[in-house]
Amino acid sequence: MTTTRSGRNGRATKSKASRTRSLQRQAPASTRKASKGNTSNRKTSTRKTSNRTASSGRATTTTRTAETGSGRARSNRAATRTAGRSSSKAAKGRRRSRRRTSLKVTEAGERYAAFLTATFVGLTLFGLVMVLSASSVSSIHQYDESPFFQFKRQVVWAGLGAVAFVVASRIDYRLTRRFAGPLMLLSVVLLVLLLIPGVGIERNYSTRWLGVGSFVIQPSELAKLAMIVFIADLLARRERRMDRPELTVRPVMFIVYLCSALIILQPKLGTPVILGSVALIVLFVAGAKLKSLLLWATVSVGSVAVLALATGYQKDRIDGWLNPWESPQGIGLQAIQSQVGIASGGLFGVGLGASRAKWGFLPFAHTDFIFAIVAEEVGLIGASALIGAFVLIAWFGIKTALAAPDRYGVLLAAGITSWLLVQAFLNIGMVLGVLPITGEALPFVSAGGSSLVTTLAAAGLLTSVARRARA
């Protein structure tokens, strides 16, 4: 029994041991599964962490790339601005250097300048002689002075004009571009001052003069030169934009209309005609479209016609031009007496100082109607020679414009030449009776300080351009 019990105990012990071993075998398996699960979890979390790290790295990289791109864009824009500024500064520097560098005087230019100078000096001296002859009677009767009274005043103005001519002809004409704006502004201010009651000086129903005592100037004469310099500078700077009228034609015509309106209020109609004609010629030379110029010319001519017919002062002048014999002692007196004086001169004239028209028959014989005295005293030959002098100015003025070294010189020469020719045409046509009376002086010849000084200054600028003409 003892053996049996011991056997049973042994078998029980063996069964317990076998269970324990099986449990032990099972326990590592579950432990291994748990460890494997933990390992897989660790790997998953590691992968997630690595993914998060990678995604955050990619985001950081993307952010850094975007920041780098935006930084590069900013740096590119800054570089572009810097390059633009440097290029604009370089362009300005080149323009300034070109302006500082004086244009050389050429041999061909000296020839042009010599012919122009001789013509201008000859016309001025001839004008002094004719002013002495035509004003001798009015100096005695009108001013109660000696016959040389108005002649002496004209000599003083001729001296000032000679100084202006020499200075303008010797300097580089491009220097005037610096004063284009201020000179135009000054002209407009002076024209406005004429409209203020008590400021302007009224003569013959018109307020056209400013001054103190014997020193009197006519702002409209300065406006002619100022406008030419201004529009020549404007169109030279916008040479490549001539196909855009809003940047070229319209600004020019605005200045013309502004000055013309101020001058018409004086009243005076001849100067606006000159301003408009010169502006259109300069625009044509600058390359403006012909269709646009024709439109502006039509509008301008229509405006002048309406103003001339609507204003009593100008309407009377037109009536005196069309029907002078209806009022031979009134509005038609000048037209009739000027033609009588021209007819009296014949071929060779009655001789210097022997005019009869200046003895009170022809008003303003030494200013607006001096060409009639010229035709009477030196005849058809002398009058034709005077017209020939203006033809020479036209010839050498055109050659100067064609041979000018830069765009501004071309437009300046064209503007000054057209100014002198248009004004001479208006004056001579008025004296001959083919045009209405406009009150414009004959350049270089008629008495008048402002007209002579500004005309000689303009002639000096034209000579300056001619001296630097290309061969």
Same domain (yes/no): 172, 95:
no
The DSSP code for 104 is: P
Q: Do 71 and 168 reside in the same domain of the chain? A: no
Determine the pLDDT at residue 108: 87
Q: Which residues, in sequence order, are bridge partners of residue 337?
A: none
pLDDT of residue 74: 57
pLDDT in tens, 272-304: 999 999 999 999 999 999 999 999 999 999 988
Picking from 66, 101, 136, the residue at the C-terminal end of a domain is 101
One domain for residues 129 and 158: yes
Closest CA to 442 of 147, 123, 165, 118: 123
pLDDT band at 215 (very low <50, low <70, confident <90, very high): confident
pLDDT tens per residue across span 115-147: 999 999 999 999 999 999 999 998 888 877 788
- The pLDDT assigned to 53 comes to 43
- The boundaries of the domain holding residue 61 are 1-101
CA geometry: angle 105, 111, 112, nearest 5 deg: 90
Query: Do residues 419 and 270 share a domain?
Result: yes
Question: CA 430, 436, 440: angle at the middle one, nearest 5?
Answer: 55
Number of domains present in the structure of the chain: 2
Contacts of 421 (CB under 8 A, 6+ apart): 390, 393, 394, 397
Same domain, 19 and 42: yes
- The answer, yes or no, to whether residue 461 has pLDDT greater than 60, is yes
The C-alpha angle with vertex 252 and arms to 247 and 253, in degrees rounded to 5, equals 115
Residue 91: exposed, middle, or buried by beta-carbon count in 10 A (0-12, 13-18, 19+)? exposed
Question: What pLDDT does residue 5 have?
Answer: 43
Residue identified by tokens 């002809």 is 169
CA distance 321 to 335: 7
Do 86 and 176 have their domain in common? no
Range 96-100 contact pairs with CB under 8 angstroms and sequence separation of 24 or more: 99/174, 99/175, 99/177
The model's pTM is 0.79
Strand 201-203 vs strand 206-212: parallel, antiparallel, or unpaired?
Answer: antiparallel
Q: At 97, which helix (H) or strand (E)? A: helix 2-100
